[in-house]
Structure 1
Amino acid sequence: MSKISTFTLSRHSRLFSVPEDGNEKYLFVKSGDTPYQEEPYRAESYALAFIKEGGVKLTAGLLSWDVDAPAIITLAPSVIRYFSKRSDRLKMDVIFFKESFLLERHADPFFLGSFEFFEDIGRCVLPLNPTNATKFARIYDLAQQARSASQSHQDLIVRSYIFALLYELEAYYRQYTAEKPPPSRGYPLFDQFRKLLRENYMREHKLDFYSSRLHVTSKSLSAAVKKHTGKSAGKWIDDTIILEAKVLLQNKTLTVSQIAGMLNFSDQSVFGKFFRAGAGMSPVEYRKKFD
């Protein structure tokens, strides 16, 4: 997995036209003209995006949301995501930060993993009520001011605001999910399948593997997943692999043959046929989009 390409903070800085200042720990993006990255990618940093006005279409993993203001989007580095235009008046503040920066003086290396809104991709969008929107707007503004002011202990102050934002988000998340339980809560089999898929899709492509691990028949698993999502379990597996392949193909240091091996295909030809069936073009044709 070490060769999987990610968006660096520097690349995000260029994408959002934020002047680079040599800071490789965190990045603040203030509302303005927001570009749309419509090809899937991962990032090296965590992201907390505050949708203040308008809306955006988010795809994270294989799930999609039409996000309307006010709302906060929480994304962990491992999440494959892309954004599509939905409103001409989008205003979005974003804080990107590296785990190493936030936990520099923190004793618990698993701290960020304790936040369910980072761990459960299905809950990475949190609609806000007006009261909480005002509260989060203040925290974002304070963090931005601390970042832009040249002062001693600047990193400590910025880090403190990010911690405050995370704890406020956690409190609001617990309240929100208690009032509006996740749609999948009544479908534990789908949750278990999705977790198993996330952990094994790079190696295991067969439905039988997942059904045997979940102690159900392949037919039962596929029917249950399709009833809940409208898409069979086999399609979930294929789409997950295609999404990963698209991210890997953007890394020009990897050959198509190497990518086929990373995704556990027997050879490049088999991978090529699989990718064309799912993406409508060959791996080479997809890669040419980024020339």
Structure 2
Amino acid sequence: MENELPKIDLPEDLITGRLTDTTILNLYAHFPCRIKAEIFVLCRKGEVDASINLKHYHVSDSCFLTLLPGTVFQINRIEGDVDIYFGGVSSDFLRSVQPIKSVIDVSYAIKRNPCVVLRPEAIEMAQDYFEIIHKSKEVFGMKNRDLLKHLYYSLMYTLNALYKNRKVEKENLTQNERTAQDFGQLVLDNYSREKNVAFYASKLGITPAYLSSVVKQVTGRTCLDIIADMIIMDAKAQLKSTNLPIYLIADSLNFENVSFFGKYFKRHVGISPQEYRNQKDDECLA
């Protein structure tokens, strides 16, 4: 059994829908989760503040959001009435998809910027696309994976064209900004096993001192702060969304023993893991 962030997948190869109330969104409003599926969202009304891989995004009218598999996602605030189109493909379906250059290219662009603002004509096209998928599902029952793959590829080709028409952020990043960004991705991939800055510096081919200096300059925070953010976020999610004993949560995050984990958690959160678990949900949102 994997002891880490709760994972969200889809029960079918493909789903689509439209949200006009916040019931489903509220399920993601308390604690982070890791997305196993690939999710696409078009916001037409309402405002949502969300965290994607520890970075904050404000999603409102005209925003198109893509959550790639492995994304750590949490909703922080929902304001106003919502009108949201969404679609998604399951991890099982994605394993059946042959990688193509456009999919790979746009995946890198989405990792850098998962939320983009669409022009009016692109908004209309996105809405039409969601409706086409929905109608296809009604007519064909979505039993045919070849049809699903064509629908998926067409969306990824469209997203690839959309991102190519934008000024890609990475082209404008300084070397230090790229290094800090690469460090953040490495932390997302390895925080449950590695807490030592030297490990990440080695992966990037630089010294720990240089990495620490660059990350501090770019983000205003230390490397250890960023690593701790991920560890504490994961710990909080497991404490609130599972019944795992605390010693197993400590083990899943590679602490030597539950005592070390308890001290680490209390230093960053201010209370013990058990006290945090016992708190009511509305007391834990800060």
Q: TM-score range by the shorter chain?
A: 0.7 to 0.9
Which of 25, 31, 41 is the equivalent residue of 2:19? 31
Q: 1:45 to 1:226 in 2, by over 3 A?
A: same
Does the 8 A contact of 1:41 with 1:80 survive in 2? Answer: yes
Q: Deviations over 1:248-268 (max 9, x none)?
A: 334535321112112111111
**Separation in 1 of the partners of 2:193 and 2:69?**
21
Q: What RMSD, in angstroms, separates the aligned Cα atoms of the two structures?
A: 2.9
- SS of the residue aligned with 1:254? coil
**Separation in 2 of the partners of 1:103 and 1:211?**
32
**Separation in 1 of the partners of 2:13 and 2:142?**
14
For residue 122 of structure 1, report the CA deviation from its aligned partner: 3.3
Q: 1:281 to 1:81 in 2, by over 3 A?
A: farther
For residue 79 of structure 1, report the CA deviation from its aligned partner: 1.3
- SS of the residue aligned with 1:171? helix
Amino acid at match of 1:2: E
Q: Which has the higher contact order (CA 8 A, sep 6+)?
A: 2
Does the 8 A contact of 1:250 with 1:290 survive in 2? Answer: no
- SS of the residue aligned with 1:277? helix
**Separation in 1 of the partners of 2:134 and 2:108?**
22
**Separation in 1 of the partners of 2:86 and 2:268?**
33
| Identity across matched positions, percent | 24
Q: Within the alignment, does 1:89 sit opposite 2:81 as a pair?
A: yes
Which of 207, 227, 242 is the equivalent residue of 1:252? 242
Structure 1 unpaired stretches of 5+: 10-22
Q: 1:25 to 1:112 in 2, by over 3 A?
A: farther
* Mean Cα deviation higher: 271-280 or 242-251: 242-251
**Separation in 1 of the partners of 2:101 and 2:91?**
9
Normalising by structure 1, we get a TM-score of: 0.81
- SS of the residue aligned with 2:33? coil
**Separation in 1 of the partners of 2:226 and 2:171?**
19
Structure 2 unpaired stretches of 5+: 282-286
Q: Which has the higher strand share?
A: 2
Alignment coverage as a number of residue pairs:
274
- SS of the residue aligned with 1:64? strand
Q: 1:84 to 1:118 in 2, by over 3 A?
A: farther
Q: Within the alignment, does 1:275 sit opposite 2:283 as a pair?
A: no
For residue 41 of structure 1, report the CA deviation from its aligned partner: 1.0
Correspondence 1:104-119 to 2 at 5 A: 104=96, 106=97, 108=98, 114-117=104-107
Does the 8 A contact of 2:246 with 2:273 survive in 1? Answer: yes
Q: Within the alignment, does 1:161 sit opposite 2:147 as a pair?
A: no
- Partner residue of 1:202? 192
**Separation in 2 of the partners of 1:202 and 1:111?**
31
**Separation in 2 of the partners of 1:113 and 1:276?**
43
For residue 26 of structure 1, report the CA deviation from its aligned partner: 2.7
**Separation in 2 of the partners of 1:165 and 1:266?**
46
**Separation in 2 of the partners of 1:173 and 1:199?**
25
Does the 8 A contact of 2:170 with 2:178 survive in 1? Answer: no
Q: 1:236 to 1:152 in 2, by over 3 A?
A: closer
